[in-house]
Structure 1
């Protein structure tokens, strides 16, 4: 079976969150479904990302933000610090066209938020909604994010770090 022509597929509306703790570090989580892709890398193996998820029909982006955080990390105890001024899109790599995102999208168009985490680390529960999207997480300085395997989102994350540099700070 051949993959559909990506130019005929739409982008999936999506929301993303850069979660900042009081120390100014950002939350990065390892995808549970892609852990084995990079063997022998040690504790940082697998593909890491910021929380993100689809926007349901009739749902406002900020509503989706809080819902997705509750589903993916078990808490939405955050305060919005900033919303990106534009929607940022990315295309899936060719080998994922027709497979990822239910096979119905060429990629995602996302609105990104920076949020301050108000809770305790013990509030974060990756198993709050099963199947879990992530199997590990950590706080890292924004400047260290690029040393992780970010898959095809590397360029997007570099742009987000630059665009939000003045906001991602200790409280």
Structure 2
């Protein structure tokens, strides 16, 4: 049995992408058919969190651009559930420490391509625009408390235009 306290957190970014109506891009994970989330992913070596956020958005949604509106202050760590320790995230991490960004969609919805840029397997199989107050009606898995913390702050950066 792996002691989670001996494992580090993986540096990661999350992207809350808002459209002009102030709705949030929320997508269903292809591997966990009932769990929804925002785009997110690891930070590569020698990559800034901002650069990682732009790359992850492109990889997971196919979007080539978005307007950076701001970020949640500081890093937010979360631990994996016990049954995922040693399995998820390559078995090397106890969880992730995330930097969350708010971005505004600058392209038409038709630019969204869940196959992303083709550099990675598709992470999502479905997506919706969801008003921030309605996000908790979706199954967010063990990340629900994280979304409850970040959404009031990040959605305030993206009011309807």
Q: TM-score, normalising length from structure 1?
A: 0.90
Q: How many residues of Structure 1 are paired with residues of Structure 2 in the alignment? A: 159
**Deviation of 1:82 (Å):** 0.8
> What residue number does 1:42 align with?
none
**Deviation of 1:169 (Å):** 1.2
Match of 2:104 among 116, 134, 140: 116
Whole-Å Cα distance in 2 between the matches of residues 80 and 157 of structure 1?
Answer: 19
> What residue number does 1:38 align with?
none
Whole-Å Cα distance in 1 between the matches of residues 20 and 153 of structure 2?
Answer: 20
Q: Which runs of 4+ in 1 moved over 6 A?
A: none
Q: Does 1:145 align with 2:143?
A: no
Whole-Å Cα distance in 2 between the matches of residues 160 and 33 of structure 1?
Answer: 24
Q: Does 1:94 align with 2:82?
A: yes
Match of 1:72 among 52, 60, 63: 60
Q: Does 1:157 align with 2:157?
A: no
2:114–2:125: 8 Å Cα contact kept in structure 1? yes
Whole-Å Cα distance in 2 between the matches of residues 127 and 82 of structure 1?
Answer: 26
SS in 1 for 2:32: helix
> What residue number does 2:7 align with?
9
Whole-Å Cα distance in 1 between the matches of residues 10 and 31 of structure 2?
Answer: 20
Deviations 1:111-140 (A, max 9, x none): 000000000111000013341000000000
Whole-Å Cα distance in 2 between the matches of residues 137 and 126 of structure 1?
Answer: 8
> What residue number does 1:33 align with?
31
Whole-Å Cα distance in 2 between the matches of residues 166 and 32 of structure 1?
Answer: 29
- Note the aligned Cα RMSD (angstroms): 1.0
> What residue number does 2:18 align with?
20
Deviations 1:38-89 (A, max 9, x none): xxxxxxxx10001000000110011101111110011132000011111001
Whole-Å Cα distance in 2 between the matches of residues 77 and 31 of structure 1?
Answer: 22
**Deviation of 1:163 (Å):** 2.2
**Deviation of 1:28 (Å):** 0.1
Q: TM-score, normalising length from structure 2?
A: 0.96
SS in 1 for 2:10: strand
**Deviation of 1:166 (Å):** 2.1
